[in-house]
Structure 1
Amino acid sequence: MTMGDNLWGWQNINGSPYLTCALLAPWPHGFFTRAFYPQLPEQLITYLDPQGKAFRVKQVHGDVTLTATEIGQTPLAPDSAHPPADGIISDAPHQGVWVASADCTPVLIGDLIGKRVAAIHAGWRGTKARIVPKTIDRFLALGSELKDLRVALGPAIAGEVYQVDPWVALEVGQSVQAVQQLATERQQWDYLCNVATPPVLPDREPEKYRLDVRRINQLQLLELGFAQEQIAVAPHCTFQMEELFFSYRRTHTKEVQWSGIVSY
């Protein structure tokens, strides 16, 4: 999980810390901490790009990614000022795309040549539905090349502390193509528990497992043909680092931190 720790660095605004990733250095971006709560993207973007416009969606734990233009053309979610989706991809300069999280994985992506960017909310349900690979498909359809993409998986609940039911661990694990291709569930369990840096870990409680959702997303990306060097995984756990991050699993309150990246 800690591969590429040196790619991550802390920045500071008015005494409040936020995280950046060296892979995304060409773009203004940040994984903001609880210190910025309750500021919304419309305020946070002023720290990254005073000319920028913020785009966000009503996150529903699904697999839909909208372009910034599509956000304005898509029916709104019930009781929301935003359409339902869990990913946003820019289609013009100075567009800040944002996702909220409080244990789920915030994923920021940039295209070094095409300059477009994306922000994705990848909890276990979105990961099971392969929202990150589906967003990569949108990049490629828009003309991006895989080799030009850089992906940062931000602070989220770590696998070592994320307890889930067996069916959750298996169904999320089955989103990895190498697991899908195995003939029996026993073989699938064996793969998920014993592959290098396994995404499924044992739990002290009977009939429970620990699930590393970021590792599943990383495996999905590697299967698409990404090089290890194109992916950074944050060594920060929202559940364990209470002073920095909100965690729904820890408190069961609806407080979130925002992550965003701005196109140029």
Structure 2
Amino acid sequence: MVTPDNAMLIAGPLDEAPGLSHGFFTRQGGVSEGIYESLNCGVGSKDDPGKANHNRALVAEVLGVAPDKLITPYQIHSATAVVAEAPWKDEPPQADAIVTATPGLAVGILTADCAPVLFADPEAKVVAAAHAGWRGAVSGIVESTVEAMRSLGAKPENIVAAIGPAISLSVYEVGQDFKDQVLKDDPDAAPYFETDESTGEPHFDLSGYVAERCARAGLENITEIGLCTYCDEARFFSYRRSQHWGEDDYGRQIAAIVLT
């Protein structure tokens, strides 16, 4: 249910929903260079700000909006979701999800291993973008996003959710302390851990867990794109890969959705 492209991935259920446009953008198709090659949309990275903003303008063009109509939050690995009716007047709010019912306002989030999640209720005409790292997922970013969508008239049973590329179970080694912390906060997360037989270390299925949190929030139409950011250097930025390679920074890909 996913249509791949050099610069963008489309989730089938969202593509089939009327009145909206979306994309999980890859690292390809932009103007940045070096470790940021090429569609780095992270204005908070050490990349040339002009190039990062140029890349965001390219994304906005694909989505059919003006550059200032593509907004992202200042992400803090939280469970905070905000409602937006217009572009930010000042600095973006500290949050990890944006919800909107405003046509022509594209809401997006940045990732580099964490799970990007795009939501839409086509009947209520409400969309959202959420950044679900393990901290945000455990603390309830999915549920906060759905609740904010409900405040604008959305119904969980009508919401379509698509989980984009993220670090995969096979390479997401997390350590016992991580596992203990997650299970302390959410014992029901146990099925999303597996032990690597060769190292004895636990691994975590982030995308699977985010899908589970979507189901807990009452969603029935949930899609996982299932591509690994760490494993596919050609298409995706990866924080963990940058750490393993000793790089001093990393690019960020963007996922965004807009009511047309």
Q: Is the 8 A contact 1:127 1:217 kept in 2?
A: yes
Q: Which aligned pairs between 1:129-168 and structure 2 lie closer than 5 A?
A: 129-168=139-178
Paired position in structure 2 for 1:260:
256
Q: Which aligned pairs between 1:163-174 and structure 2 lie closer than 5 A?
A: 163-173=173-183
CA-atom RMSD in angstroms: 2.1
Seen in structure 2, the aligned counterparts of structure 1 residues 155 and 174 have a Cα distance that, compared at 3 Å, is farther
The CA deviation at 1:249 is 0.5
1:151 and 1:159 map into 2 onto residues whose CA distance is 20
The CA deviation at 1:173 is 4.5
1:24 and 1:98 map into 2 onto residues whose CA distance is 15
Unaligned runs of 5+ in 1: 1-6, 181-190, 193-197
Cα displacement string for residues 37-69 of structure 1 (whole angstroms, at most 9, x for unaligned residues): 135434311111145711111111111111113
1:62 and 1:250 map into 2 onto residues whose CA distance is 23
Q: 111, 114, 133: which is aligned to 1:123?
A: 133
Paired position in structure 2 for 1:62:
78
Q: 219, 234, 237: which is aligned to 1:246?
A: 237
Amino acid at match of 2:76: V
Question: What is the TM-score when the length of structure 1 is the normalising length?
Answer: 0.79
1:66 and 1:89 map into 2 onto residues whose CA distance is 6
The CA deviation at 1:97 is 0.5
The 3-state SS of whatever aligns with 2:229 is coil
Paired position in structure 1 for 2:25:
32
Seen in structure 2, the aligned counterparts of structure 1 residues 223 and 164 have a Cα distance that, compared at 3 Å, is same
Seen in structure 2, the aligned counterparts of structure 1 residues 19 and 216 have a Cα distance that, compared at 3 Å, is same
2:88 and 2:234 map into 1 onto residues whose CA distance is 36
Mean Cα deviation higher: 39-48 or 145-154 = 39-48
Seen in structure 2, the aligned counterparts of structure 1 residues 50 and 135 have a Cα distance that, compared at 3 Å, is closer
The 3-state SS of whatever aligns with 1:133 is helix
Amino acid at match of 1:237: C
Unaligned runs of 5+ in 2: 31-38, 41-51, 244-248
The CA deviation at 1:222 is 1.7
Paired position in structure 1 for 2:2:
8
Q: Is the 8 A contact 1:109 1:149 kept in 2?
A: yes
Seen in structure 2, the aligned counterparts of structure 1 residues 163 and 70 have a Cα distance that, compared at 3 Å, is farther
Amino acid at match of 1:157: I
Paired position in structure 2 for 1:236:
227
The sequence identity of aligned pairs, in percent, is 29
Cα displacement string for residues 53-92 of structure 1 (whole angstroms, at most 9, x for unaligned residues): 111111111111111138747xx7xxxx422111111131
Seen in structure 2, the aligned counterparts of structure 1 residues 262 and 210 have a Cα distance that, compared at 3 Å, is same
Question: What is the TM-score when the length of structure 2 is the normalising length?
Answer: 0.80
Seen in structure 2, the aligned counterparts of structure 1 residues 170 and 222 have a Cα distance that, compared at 3 Å, is farther
Seen in structure 2, the aligned counterparts of structure 1 residues 71 and 44 have a Cα distance that, compared at 3 Å, is closer
Amino acid at match of 1:225: G
Paired position in structure 2 for 1:100:
110
The CA deviation at 1:128 is 1.5
Seen in structure 2, the aligned counterparts of structure 1 residues 170 and 42 have a Cα distance that, compared at 3 Å, is farther
Q: When the two structures are aligned, how many residues end up with a matched partner?
A: 228
1:113 and 1:41 map into 2 onto residues whose CA distance is 29
